[in-house]
Amino acid sequence: MSIELTGRYILVHTDGSCIGNPGPGGWAVVLQSMDGSLQLNQKELSGHVPDTTNNRMELSAAIAALEAIKNKELPVIIRTDSSYLANGMTKWLEGWKRQGWKNRDGKPVPNWDLWERLDILNDSRVHWQWVRAHDGNELNEVADKLAKAAAHSAP
């Protein structure tokens, strides 16, 4: 899905990291308040969990981003290098909900608790975009470094 980047909107870069999988993990978010191509403000958030998985940290970053956005009327573009997160939000979520949070094999969806939270926070103003990791996207790299640092700070 393509969205025209004009007017005011929030641009979000998320990432998750884990030392081992499972192991200590960290998530990070770079939020930008934008007006067209002009950046008005930028905020960085991160956190850690002592024993988790990389996928849980990717989902936690998106949750933290959506919870941090105060203006619930502006369009939001979430850029993630996690195909798990991007595909989950754009392709799989509706089917999981129809099937009672079960996957096509009838097994519980991993991380359903976080998917359910994301579903509650998600609405039509939120647009999900997958970006290639380590491909020169400066703010994806910032989120990656913050997530890794958070993972290393986990108790």
CATH number where 134 lies: 3.30.420.10
Tell me whether residue 81 is annotated as binding: yes
Instruction: Provide the number of structural domains found in the chain.
Output: 1
Torsion on CA atoms 71, 75, 76, 79, rounded to nearest 10:
-160
The answer to the question of residue 67 being in a domain is yes
Q: What is the pTM of this model?
A: 0.94
What's the chain's length in residues? 155
Domain enclosing residue 66, as ranges: 8-153
For the stretch 135-144, pLDDT in tens is 888 999 999 9
For the stretch 118-137, pLDDT in tens is 999 999 999 999 999 888 88
Tell me whether residue 58 is annotated as binding: yes
- Per-residue pLDDT, averaged over 86-97, amounts to 96
The answer to the question of residue 2 being in a domain is no
Tell me whether residue 144 is annotated as binding: yes
Helices 138-153 + 54-68 axis angle, to 10: 110
Question: Which two tokens mark 70?
Answer: 């105060």
Catalytic positions, written as ranges: 15-16, 58, 81, 134, 144
Residue 136 confidence (pLDDT): 80
The answer to the question of residue 132 being in a domain is yes
